[in-house]
Amino acid sequence: MAMLENNTALVTGGRQGIGRGIADRFAAEGARVTITGRGARPDDLPAHFAWASSDVSDPRAVAELAAGIEGLDILVNNAGIQVEKTITETSDVDWDELMGANAKGVFLMCRALIPRMSHGGSIINIGSISGQTADPGLALYNASKAFVHGLTRSIAVDHGPAVRCNAICPGWIMTGMVDAAFAVADNPEAAKTDALARHPAGRLGQPSDIAAMAAWLASDQSSFTTGQLFTVDGGLTASSPLNPGLFR
Amino acid sequence: MMLAGKTALVTGGRGGIGRAICERFAREGARVFAADLTPAGSLAEGQPPDDFIQLDVTSEDSVRAVYDHVAATADSSLDILVNAAGIEIEKTIEETSLEEWNRIFAVNVTGTFLVSKYALPLLRRSQAGGGASVINFGSYDGFIADPGLAAYCATKGAVHALTRAMACDHGPEGIRVNAICPGYVDTPMLQSFFEGDGSGGDGCTIDSLQQAVRDVHPMRTFGKPEDMANLVNWLASDEARYAAGQLWVLDGGLSAQVQQMKL
């Protein structure tokens, strides 16, 4: 039996990658899914998805989007960007763009939609393992994800039992972002071998791995689950950043 | 001097980290009892400025005898207890025999339990303004795993939980309990880890392996026993009067980062 029959879901930043993986899974579980993204509806987006052109960092756009929604069951705050810089390299524009999408966007969407969700609705924020421990050269990204983790707990505390709110912390998920990272490695094949060796699961993640957690957090199976962070990273962060075996 | 007038007992007091703690405590004006299996411990050279007591932390009789001695020579009072005795077994659970498992739990966990249990009557008599201080040795391995150290990781996780429990139970009696969680510290145990890992093979020298490991640390170096002693000294002092029940990670930033892919 489908887990999300008769549910309505909104997934931000669902054009591709993890957001699209979550949208696909939700649809397969019987939910009616609206995907948001900046710009026009992608040509190849299947007809069963509704599309809303909306920028999560723009308060007016978010208000307009929310005005058309009533009784939403599931909100997934997935939209996010990455800026590969240390703080001394980061410009004010970088700050506004990154924090606008990753931090302010989650705030704006939750503020606008919590009053419009059905009782017992589920908010799922996409945090990151990088919000718990640092990835080098991703300072604002790391910090923005830590913000998401903190906001997740606050929403759970302030707005339960009306809504539940949890975050998923993905590790290395094979998306365009990760493909690009391997492509520019000195030795892409060796880089991939090394990355695999660091994952007890023996593989990198797929958007469907994150979608599996999201489906559970969206379903009634998790009705007692709120305010928590769920790491889905193939075991990466369970082991030390050091693994002497890899230095041979 | 931060520890003038205080009395301290350090288990594993002749080991790599324990010895540095004893030397620091003595410099800070404490009366130090260094307890270990043998006067040489894991380091043979020199004679530190402390009173040596033979102690097997896994033996209740041995622990009691040590406190009889401390009570007789230090007015039945103890201000500082450092549970630094510990061993490491470099194996996965499949390779670990039950005997080895029981042995490492006996030293790292039961030892911390026994030595703390029988210290309580003396710690309660401490006149230290900042309270009596117990400092256990956990490890960053109690939070995240190093490969091939399964039982060790488990013992350190147990010490972390025990630290919080002791802090809750005995805080009201004026006894502060904290744990230091070292990362890679340059000690005989670390050398054994590198050699035991077999990483010297495959055309890679232990030196080059160690350098590679140092380079993963944000501080680009291993810790020294003295670095651990710096924090132990603070926790033992009255400066730390409000510090209790915490796990203090001291690892050169190692565990602040996600694993570093070789891109």
Among B149, B214, B261, the strongest candidate for a mutation testing the A interface, having the largest count of A CBs within 10 A, is: B261
> Per-residue pLDDT averaged across B142-166, rounded?
96
Identify the pLDDT of residue B44.
45
What tokens appear for A93 in the block? 């524009």
Residues of A in contact with B262 (CB under 8 A): 185, 190-191, 194-195
Cβ burial B139-170 (10 Å sphere, 16+ → b, else e): bbbbbbbbbbbbbbbbbbbbbbebbbebbeeb
How many Å apart are CA B153 and CA B130, to the nearest integer? 32
Is B256 an 8 Å CB contact of chain A?
Answer: yes
Structure letter (DSSP) for residue A135: P
Q: What's the first-to-final CA gap in chain A, in angstroms?
A: 50
Interfacial residues of A (vs B; Cβ cutoff 8 Å): 129-130, 133-136, 172, 181-182, 184-186, 190-191, 194-195, 198, 236-245, 247-248
B219 CB near a chain A CB, below 8 Å?
no
A 10 A CB-CB count for B181 gives 23
Is pLDDT of A3 > 60?
yes
Picking from A72, A3, A12, the residue whose alpha carbon sits closest to that of residue A36 is A12
Closest by Cα among B236, B258, B230, B239 to B250 = B230
Q: Does B52 touch chain A (CB under 8 A)?
A: no
Alpha helices for chain B (secondary structure H): 16-27, 60-73, 98-105, 111-117, 120-123, 150-170, 188-196, 206-216, 225-236
Q: Alpha carbon B45 to chain centroid distance?
A: 20
Joined tokens for residue A141: 């990204």
Distance from CA of A232 to the nearest CA of B (A): 14
CB contact at 8 A, A141 and A130: yes
How far is residue B35's CA from residue B62's CA, in Å, rounded to a whole number? 11
Coil vs helix vs strand at A224: coil
> What is the per-residue pLDDT for A121?
97
CB atoms within 10 A of CB A47: 5
Question: Lowest-pLDDT range, B3-17, B42-56, B162-176?
Answer: B42-56
Token representation of residue B62: 């041995």
Residue B47 predicted with pLDDT over 60: no
What mean pLDDT do residues A89-95 have? 98
Mean pLDDT value across residues A25-48: 97
Gyration radius of chain A's alpha carbons: 18
Contact between B137 and B179 under an 8 Å Cβ cutoff? The reply is yes
How many CB contacts within 8 angstroms connect chain A with chain B?
A: 87
The residues of A that are catalytic are 141
B-chain CB neighbours of A134 within 8 Å are: 256-258
Question: In this complex, do B199 and A238 lie within 8 Å of one another by their Cβ atoms?
Answer: no
Q: How many Å lie between the alpha carbon of B58 and the closest alpha carbon of chain A?
A: 29
Write out the two tokens for B129. Answer: 């303004």
Confidence band for A1, pLDDT divided at 50, 70 and 90: low
Sign of the dihedral through C-alpha A55, A59, A61, A65: positive
Half-sphere exposure for B255 (CA within 13 Å, toward CB): 20
Q: How far is A56 from chain B (nearest CA, A)?
A: 28
Q: Tell me: the pLDDT tens digits for A205-219?
A: 999 999 999 999 999
Please give the domain boundaries of chain B with CATH numbers for all domains. 7-184+224-251 (3.40.50.720)
pLDDT, position A233: 95
Whole-angstrom Cα distance, residue B67 to residue A77? 59
Contacts of A129 in chain B (CB under 8 A): 258
CA distance B16 to B28: 19
Contact flag B213-A242 (C-beta cutoff 8 Å): yes
| Arithmetic mean of pLDDT over chain A | 94
In this prediction, residue B200 carries a pLDDT of 45
For the cut 70, the answer to whether the pLDDT of residue A245 exceeds it is no
* A133/B258 Cβ within 8 A: yes
**How far is A134 from chain B, CA to nearest CA, in Å?**
4
Lowest mean pLDDT among A74-83, A128-137, A155-164, B37-46: B37-46
Q: Does domain A8-231 have CATH number 3.10.100.10?
A: no
ipTM over 0.95: no
**Cβ-defined contact of B255 to A182 (cutoff 8 Å):** no
Residue A64: pLDDT above 70? yes
Cβ-defined contact of A185 to B263 (cutoff 8 Å): yes
Provide, as residue numbers in chain B, all residues whose Cβ is less than 8 Å from the Cβ of A239: 144-147, 259
**CB atoms < 10 A from the CB of B21, how many?**
32
Q: Quick one: which H or E segment has residue A119?
A: strand A117-126
Among B147, B202, B255, the residue with its CB nearest the CB of A241 is B255
User: Is the pLDDT assigned to residue B68 strictly greater than 50?
Assistant: yes
Contact across the interface for A240 and B145, Cβ inside 8 Å: yes
CB A73 within 8 A of CB A24: no
State the pairing for strand pair B7-11/A229-232.
unpaired
How high is the mean pLDDT of chain B?
91
Return the DSSP state at A160.
T
Question: What is the pLDDT averaged over residues A177-204?
Answer: 84
Indicate which residues of B carry an active-site annotation: 152
Domain residue extents for chain A:
8-231
Q: Is residue B231 very low, low, confident or very high in pLDDT (cuts 50, 70, 90)? A: very high
- On the question of pLDDT at B48 being above 80, the answer is no
- Is residue A189 within 8 Å of residue A196, measured between CB atoms? no
| CA–CA min distance B152, chain A (Å) | 14
